[in-house]
Amino acid sequence: YEKFELIKKNLAEVLTENELKEKIENGIKMKGYLGFEPSGLPHLGWIVWMNKVKDLIDAGVEFNLLEATWHAMINDKLGGNMELIRKAARLTRDVMKALNVQVDKINFVDAEKMARDKDYWALVIKVMKMTSLARMKRALTIMGRNMDEADLDTSKLIYPAMQVSDIIYMDLDIALGGLDQRKAHVLAREIAEKINAKKPIGLHTPILTGLDGGKRMETGEIDEQAASYKMSKSKPNTAIFVNDSEEDIKNKIMNAYCPPRQTEFNPILDINKYLLFPQNGFKLVIERPEKYGGTIIFEKYNELENEYANGKVHPLDLKTATANSLIEMLKPVRKLFEKDDIKEL
């Protein structure tokens, strides 16, 4: 069960664990997939799924990454400019490489190429035939939208059907995404079952809380709530971008929401759990004067969380150590941006 534990580590949800166990037990070579909108500069939230891609590749999953250019265009990213969107897709590849994701082992899938196949569009229409308008509208949360937005153009309604079709078309064992992608995965599972296609297992990462702690909805389904508090490019002061300067990282962390002893929806602890501690051999070093307890070194995230919950670690000390570690982690990415002409994204 080593493989199972590696795949499940740090996930919010597996749909379903039994299906995953069964594939592992039967020694099935699994095909996994994640799609992302190349929407500009990646921020810390993206690294949560990048780390999971690393785990899946280590677990022997054949990994496909969809550069969802059409989807980004439909979703009005980068002004709907395809040239810029393609540029952002290439940039993401470079960022992944700088963060030690095994890009050589990833099969990059081009959404535009898939859309040139007429079988793909036959599948999209089949998916739409099998889904009520009300349900398709509710699924707009997978694109960070909701059905009440009055000025949406009609192409937005095709997006969820495309995403579901992408998943079925690719014949996947695993569909990886943030918890906010749940509605697409649930729909893909239902439809795949009905049409005798392969039913994908949904692996859902937690959603990184925005630095302001997120404006959380109390009502609605978990995936809808996740969409409300997530770190997002459209709320720039809640996000740390991968190329932020050392100064910016420090300032943003120091101003972030981090109440003493609170371990839930604490973006600083989240950053430790999902970004810093998953690095090989990582240690969080909290330097303090002797009179405040002296320097402590954490090698396991759980120990940090316990000490924080007990009030043994002060928010300010946690923030200082987190900022320093994050600055270190993102160093190769900042280097990349020094030499490349990609700043207009």
Asked if 225 and 207 count as a contact pair (C-beta separation under 8 A), the reply is: no
> How far, in whole angstroms, is CA 273 from its chain's centroid?
14
- Is 37 a binder of ligand NAL (CB under 6 A)? yes
Site for ligand NAL in 273-312 (CB under 6 A): none
- Is 199 a binder of ligand NAL (CB under 6 A)? no
- Is 36 a binder of ligand NAL (CB under 6 A)? yes
- Is 35 a binder of ligand NAL (CB under 6 A)? yes
- Is 142 a binder of ligand NAL (CB under 6 A)? yes
Calculate ∠ Cα 246-252-258, nearest 5°.
Answer: 130
State the pairing for strand pair 31-36/62-67: parallel
CB closer to ligand NAL, 54 vs 71: 71
Determine the interface stretch with ligand NAL among 140-148, 282-290, 299-307, 325-333 (rule: CB under 6 A). Answer: 140-148
CB closer to ligand NAL, 35 vs 278: 35
> Concatenated DSSP letters for 212-233?
T-----SSS-HHHHHHHHB--T
Q: How far is the CB of 165 from ligand NAL (least distance, A)?
A: 8
Q: How far is the CB of 38 from ligand NAL (least distance, A)?
A: 10
Number of residues that bind ligand NAL (CB under 6 A): 15
Site for ligand NAL in 154-173 (CB under 6 A): 163, 166-167
Q: Binding residue for ligand NAL (CB under 6 A) from 14, 48, 66, 84?
A: 66
Alpha helices, H only, the chain: 2-8, 17-25, 44-58, 69-74, 82-98, 111-114, 118-129, 133-138, 158-169, 182-194, 222-229, 246-254, 267-271, 301-309, 315-329, 331-339
Helix, strand or coil for residue 178? strand
Q: What is the rounded CA–CA span in Å between residue 139 and residue 191?
A: 14
Q: How far is the CB of 305 from ligand NAL (least distance, A)?
A: 28
Binding residues for ligand NAL, rule: CB under 6 A, are: 33, 35-37, 66, 68, 71, 142-144, 163, 166-167, 177, 181
